């Protein structure tokens, strides 16, 4: 699989230098591990406006000299790769993806979010359908073992009854909530992961209502899905980073997010007669992820095995529509 990497920054490679993240945690890191394990992966080209980044990567990974280094994405795509990985800034996603599709690239991995606005996202979906191309979006929680367990073993199997309601919360010290020109804002950069997660777990919404309190820098989305409703809140300008999904079931409640996953079960209340309450029964601590359970590896194994569902691209495009339209500003 001849692969061209467009954009060689943090998510493409340099996050591998973070000593406390699971590894691989980047596109090039995952591809390089698969290459070492004798999968048919070849780095055809690296492309970045800062050509020095591509030189650092080839040197550190001791790659073959046949890998082409360029600062022109058209030059990389014109090499006719089997796979194009687009890991650039969001404002360039549309132009690069459109060019790759028009050049008949059949497999694309595109960093989230798909685009900056609804029109761009809809055009990508339309052109991909016409060209019969497959686009995987890197919403990595769809490939993470704990979220896969949540979906299959808890939500679908219903050991604690039906899911009734959810609360999603994202907090960041960033200032800009909404996208503005080249600045994608908190919603498109981070909250997009929460929205994709609830799409993955519960399907796309049938209706929504969005409110943005500009003075407090708080954004609220109320969503109604086929079987459940929920709420996603984003807070800006707070001095911590927090990602959490809380799900209420008939007989339990689950909290899951970055670094935690615990379950509270219904029990008889110890302080009030004839009442039930919730108490923690299981705190599932993060274990070291096996290489073939790694979210990035799972993503790339899907590509190698041609495992594709266009509904994930439709989810990603609807994500853009929800995040960029119909905001009531108060």
pLDDT in tens, 245-259: 999 999 999 999 998
Residue 311, CA distances (Å) to 224, 317, 319 in order: 19, 10, 12
pLDDT in tens, 249-303: 999 999 999 989 999 999 998 889 999 999 888 777 666 788 999 999 999 999 9
Q: What residue numbers bound the domain in which 250 lies?
A: 142-293+320-329
Pair (45, 152) in one structural domain: no
Q: Which residues, in sequence order, are CB contacts of 131 under 8 Å at separation 6+?
A: 101, 102, 104, 106
What average pLDDT does the structure give for the chain?
94
Pair (125, 160) in one structural domain: no
Q: How many domains does the chain have?
A: 2
Asked if residue 18 belongs to a domain, the reply is: yes
pLDDT in tens, 6-46: 999 999 999 999 998 989 999 999 999 999 999 999 999 99
Q: Which of 82, 61, 81, 70 is nearest to 13 (CA)?
A: 61
The secondary element (H helix, E strand) that includes residue 170 is strand 163-171
Q: Beta strand pairing status for 68-70 and 83-86?
A: unpaired
**Among candidate residues 87, 111, 139, the one where a domain is terminated:** 139
Pair (129, 217) in one structural domain: no
Pair (82, 163) in one structural domain: no
Whether residue 179 is predicted with pLDDT greater than 90 in this model: the reply is no
Pair (158, 111) in one structural domain: no
Residue 67's CATH number: 3.40.50.720
Phi-psi region of 224 (alpha: psi -120 to 50; beta: other; left: phi over 0): beta
How far apart are alpha carbons 93 and 88 in whole angstroms?
A: 7
Pair (245, 116) in one structural domain: no
Asked if residue 159 belongs to a domain, the reply is: yes
Asked if residue 315 belongs to a domain, the reply is: no
Instruction: Check if the beta carbon of residue 111 is closer than 8 Å to that of residue 202.
Output: no
Asked if residue 303 belongs to a domain, the reply is: no
Please tell me what DSSP assigns to residue 183.
B
Q: Which of 205, 213, 197, 294 is nearest to 247 (CA)?
A: 197
**Among candidate residues 88, 117, 139, the one where a domain is terminated:** 139
Pair (150, 272) in one structural domain: yes
Pair (155, 50) in one structural domain: no
Pair (159, 89) in one structural domain: no
Name which residue leads in pLDDT, 25 or 328. 25
- Average pLDDT (98-109) is 98
Asked if residue 302 belongs to a domain, the reply is: no
The 3-state DSSP class for residue 91 equals: helix
Asked if residue 307 belongs to a domain, the reply is: no
Listed in sequence order, the DSSP H helices in 245-325 are: 295-304, 310-324
Pair (103, 28) in one structural domain: yes
Q: What is the pLDDT of residue 330?
A: 64
How far apart are alpha carbons 5 and 324 in whole angstroms?
A: 28
Q: What is the pLDDT of residue 64?
A: 67
Q: What is the pLDDT of residue 326?
A: 74
Banded pLDDT at 203 (limits 50, 70, 90)? very high
**Among candidate residues 72, 104, 139, the one where a domain is terminated:** 139
């Amino acid at each position: 699989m001849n692969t061209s990497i467009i954009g060689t920054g943090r998510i493409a490679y340099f996050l591998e230098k973070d000593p406390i993240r699971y590894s691989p945690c980047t596109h090039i890191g995952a591809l390089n591990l698969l290459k070492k394990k004798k999968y048919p992966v070849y780095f055809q080209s690296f492309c970045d406006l800062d050509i020095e980044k591509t030189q650092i990567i080839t040197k550190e990974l001791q790659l073959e000299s046949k890998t082409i280094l360029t600062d022109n994405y058209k030059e990389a795509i014109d090499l006719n790769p089997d796979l194009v990985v687009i890991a650039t800034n969001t404002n360039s996603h549309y132009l690069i993806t459109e060019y790759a599709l028009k050049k008949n690239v059949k497999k694309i991995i595109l960093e989230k979010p798909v685009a900056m606005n609804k029109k761009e996202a809809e055009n990508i979906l339309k052109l991909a359908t016409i060209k019969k191309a497959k686009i995987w979006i890197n919403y990595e929680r769809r490939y993470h073992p704990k979220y896969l367990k949540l979906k299959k073993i808890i939500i679908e199997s219903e050991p604690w009854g039906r899911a009734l309601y959810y609360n999603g919360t994202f907090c960041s010290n960033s200032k800009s909530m909404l996208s503005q020109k080249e600045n994608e804002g908190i919603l498109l950069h981070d909250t997009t992961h929460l929205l994709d997660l609830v799409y993955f777990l519960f399907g796309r919404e049938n209706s929504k209502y969005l409110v943005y309190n500009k003075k407090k820098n708080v954004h609220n989305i109320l969503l109604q899905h086929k079987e459940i409703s929920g709420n996603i809140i984003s807070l800006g300008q707070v001095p911590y980073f927090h990602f959490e999904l809380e799900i209420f079931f008939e007989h339990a409640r689950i909290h899951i997010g970055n670094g935690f996953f615990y379950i509270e079960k219904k029990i008889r209340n110890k302080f009030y007669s004839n009442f039930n309450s919730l108490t923690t029964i299981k705190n599932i601590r993060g274990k070291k992820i096996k290489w073939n359970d790694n979210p990035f590896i799972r993503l790339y194994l899907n590509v190698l095995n041609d495992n594709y569902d266009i509904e994930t691209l439709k989810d990603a495009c609807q994500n853009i529509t929800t995040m960029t339209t119909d905001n009531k500003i108060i």
